[in-house]
Amino acid sequence: MENLYLETVSLCPEYAKDSPAYYEERDDGMYINVECNEHGVHEEQVEGDSKFFKQGYEEDYESEGCKNPYKDHLVLPITYRCNTKCRYCYTLSNSSFPLPEDRTFETLAEIIKNFEGSINIIGGEPTIREDLLQLIRVAKTNNNRIVSISTNGQRLRDINFVKGLKDNGLDYVYLSLNDIEYEESKTIYQNKLEALNNCCKFSMPVWLQRTIDELNQLDSILDVLGTYKRVIFSVTIRAVKPFGVYYPTSQIFVSDMLKYLKKEKDYTKGTEPFNCRIILKGKQARISSWVNDVKRLDPIDCSYIISNDVMTTFHRGMKIDEVLIKNQRFLNV
């Protein structure tokens, strides 16, 4: 192939199984082509600027990654249900697929006790489970590990709930906060700001998560970082990708975001080739993209547990869970 950049391994979107893939350089950027022997070729643009992509890809990331993925960090969904319906959602919560039953408290406690590393409790929306605080307490019986939750913040507008998180030893909160235009409603957005205020009151550290579908949605993040600088210690920014509920009509790439933020010469590499680190308002920020490159995501330092006894390396977009479950690869449904 004339414009072949290099070969790798990716996932067939129809069956979520490892398949040979290759990068191809075209006039409008870099593409990944996944060649599944059952479902044919699936192509996806991964960058608009192929020079930028190649620079990132050719750097050596191994020294930062390559930890044992089954020891260091566990991403644990405790429910697949959610109390909102974000248009950018890429979890099972908004799929038409019947949701798997929540695991029982005992099962989750067992998983937590048998794991040594740090734990990020996710959903769906983890705060809708009434036993969340007890689960955090179980996790923090090992005081050496870091325990976090990933939340849409709706329940954290209740100050007593945030106090409960703090009292039970939670280390920090990943909070999704998008531009007001990109949230499902103004009320949801306001609740998230109240959640941030409550985190300030209890000194609960926050790692902000922002998804954008327009570059100008980057502007409002600067205000938020200024207003809540006391508790926000980091921010991750991603552009919406075509694998969730919402398929964007045009794509935004990491290079576009760096340019918009005037950081195209002022970034450092992230832990893998598809993210960059910059400083925004004095805080560390990651500008990230999901690229389903199994070979290069290998060093990612976490594992993700989809069923009671099977872990998988964290994959791009949990929409793939639906494929895995449909094919009965991980759950007995």
User: Pattern of binders to ligand SF4 over 143-162, x per CB under 6 A?
Assistant: ---------x----------
The answer to whether the beta carbons of residues 21 and 33 sit under 8 Å apart is: yes
Taking the C-alpha atoms of residue 182 and residue 43, their distance in angstroms, rounded to an integer, is 27
Q: Per CB under 6 A, does 124 bind ligand SF4?
A: yes
125 binds, among ligand SF4, Zn ion, none (CB under 5 to 8 A by kind): ligand SF4
The answer to whether the beta carbons of residues 125 and 83 sit under 8 Å apart is: yes
- Beta-carbon count within 10 A of 175 CB: 25
Alpha carbons within 13 A on the beta-carbon side of 51: 1
Taking the C-alpha atoms of residue 305 and residue 308, their distance in angstroms, rounded to an integer, is 7
What region, left, alpha or beta, does residue 245 occupy, with left being phi > 0 and alpha being psi -120 to 50 degrees?
A: alpha
Nearer to Zn ion, 38 or 58 (CB): 38
152 binds, among Zn ion, ligand SF4, none (CB under 5 to 8 A by kind): ligand SF4
Kindly state the smallest distance separating residue 321's Cβ from Zn ion, in Å.
Answer: 16
Q: Which are the contacts of 47, defined by CB distance < 8 A and separation ≥ 6?
A: 29, 30, 53, 253, 254, 255, 289
Nearest CA to 282 out of 215, 221, 233 is that of 233
Kindly state the smallest distance separating residue 101's Cβ from ligand SF4, in Å.
Answer: 17
Among 125, 171, 183, 213, indicate the residue that binds ligand SF4 (CB under 6 A).
Answer: 125
91 binds, among Zn ion, ligand SF4, none (CB under 5 to 8 A by kind): ligand SF4
Nearer to Zn ion, 36 or 285 (CB): 36
Q: Are strands 206-212 and 172-176 parallel, antiparallel or unpaired?
A: parallel
Contacts of ligand SF4 in 64-123 (CB under 6 A): 82, 84-86, 89, 91, 93-94, 123
Residue the block writes with tokens 């998008």? 178
Q: Applying CB under 5 A, what is the total number of residues that bind Zn ion?
A: 6
Please provide residue 125's backbone torsions phi and psi, each rounded to the nearest 5 degrees. -120, 110
Q: Per CB under 6 A, does 183 bind ligand SF4?
A: no
Q: Applying CB under 6 A, what is the total number of residues that bind ligand SF4?
A: 12
Length of the chain (residues): 333
Kindly state the smallest distance separating residue 39's Cβ from Zn ion, in Å.
Answer: 3
Taking the C-alpha atoms of residue 26 and residue 33, their distance in angstroms, rounded to an integer, is 12
Question: Which stretch in 5-13, 80-88, 97-105, 236-244 sits in contact with Zn ion by CB under 5 A?
Answer: 5-13
Kindly state the smallest distance separating residue 242's Cβ from Zn ion, in Å.
Answer: 17
Nearer to ligand SF4, 82 or 325 (CB): 82
Nearer to Zn ion, 17 or 137 (CB): 17
Q: Residue numbers of the site for ligand SF4 (CB under 6 A)?
A: 82, 84-86, 89, 91, 93-94, 123-125, 152
Residues within the interface to Zn ion (CB under 5 A): 12, 14-15, 36, 38-39
